[in-house]
Amino acid sequence: MGIGNPDFDSYRLSDEQRMLRAAVRALAEDKIAPRAAEIDETAEFPYDVRDALVRSGFHAVHVPEEYGGMGADAISGCIVVEEVARVCASSSLIPAVNKLGSQPVILSGSEDLKKQVLPPLASGEAMFSYALSEREAGSDAAAMRTRAVLDGEHWVLNGTKCWITNAGVSTHYTVMAVTDPQHGANGISAFVVHQDDPGFSVGAKERKLGIKGSPTCEIYFENCTIPADRIIGEPGTGFKTALRTLDHTRLAIGAQALGIAQGALDASVAYIKERRQFGKRIADFQGIQFMVADMAMRIEAARHLVYAAAARAERDEPNLTFTSAAAKVFASDTAMSVTTDAVQLFGGYGFTKDFPVERMMRDAKITQIYEGTNQINRMVMARQLVK
């Protein structure tokens, strides 16, 4: 789009993307929304939702066509996560984390490794998780202690990773480990570990504020032995791959936050049109109107930023790092403010589990924390501006 010669048609979703949104929304309303409260209450992984997403092909739309996937563009991937998150944030982590876990392979893996692990993901036989963080190396990921040593035709891993989303459910894990302690971040490599590899195990589930239907656990490597060809890229390139991955996958968290916020707004508008006080709908009070107007305005701004960042990711533009961090921060801050306002609009009812907005507020909080806290992402943005 050039100045003075704008192509306005380029700034809208394609017919295919609009059809995709309608299809995912229909599935979400039919199969996922009725289960959302129960998923949150029981804190159990929703295998039925996973199966419904697999049958519809929405569990991992990002996998390229040559490996059996849909080969969806980045905006379409965001739409899938957004529409599922609109009714159930826990369920939206199925497509979001499948992308997070497998994106390093797509970006840096050998052709043989891609052929080995991406087709099972595309078919729904497998799920992928991502293992970067450690208890003493959260935001300071380069300080990790998990080690990997080459022993003949195998790599042997030892260490612990924490906060692993969908741990115990996923079959494959992209794991970052130190292979050369003398070179800091440049001594970190990436590997694919399978749940059946000897020496791999999963710990107990964390007890969490929100996204309770998505298990979060520690994972352990005790002389965990994997074939040498399961390294992702060359030794020492793992941390670079991790950062490139986050440039792409922070968009999914922005989309998740966007969906949560939209769900809260939809519930709020429906409620204020029905709820009556002082003889009229509370939707007729100017103070209430100002609140929902601000909520909708922030959501609309967040949606455009997420989609613009996704378009940059699709083009692999050099300024993607700033834009993806900005989209994640803005959308997650929006989700937190919108869901908090939604609870306020519902009054005492909003503080009960009889209505979905309290769950949405709890779920929204994590979007400000994972895939880089919003404070870390602000540092990422600032460094891009001043470098």
Which residue type is seen at 34?
P
Burial of 277 from C-beta contacts in 10 A (0-12 / 13-18 / 19+):
exposed
Q: Which residue has the tokens 């995912």?
A: 24
In the structure encoding, which two tokens stand for residue 230, read together? Answer: 């399961």
Q: Which residues contact 285 (CB under 8 A, 6 or more apart)?
A: none
Q: Which helix (H) or strand (E) holds 139?
A: none
**Catalytic: which of 83, 134, 358, 371?**
371
φ/ψ region of 371 (left if φ > 0, alpha if ψ in -120 to 50, else beta) reads left
> Would you call 206 a catalytic residue per the annotation?
no
> How many angstroms separate the first and last alpha carbons of the chain?
27
Q: How far apart are CA 132 and CA 155, in angstroms?
A: 17
Q: Which residues contact 234 (CB under 8 A, 6 or more apart)?
A: 189
Concatenated DSSP letters of 274-339: H-EETTEEGGGSHHHHHHHHHHHHHHHHHHHHHHHHHHHHHHT-TTHHHHHHHHHHHHHHHHHHHH
Q: How far apart are CA 248 and CA 312, in angstroms?
A: 10
Q: How far apart are CA 293 and CA 274, in angstroms?
A: 17
Catalytic (active-site) positions: 371
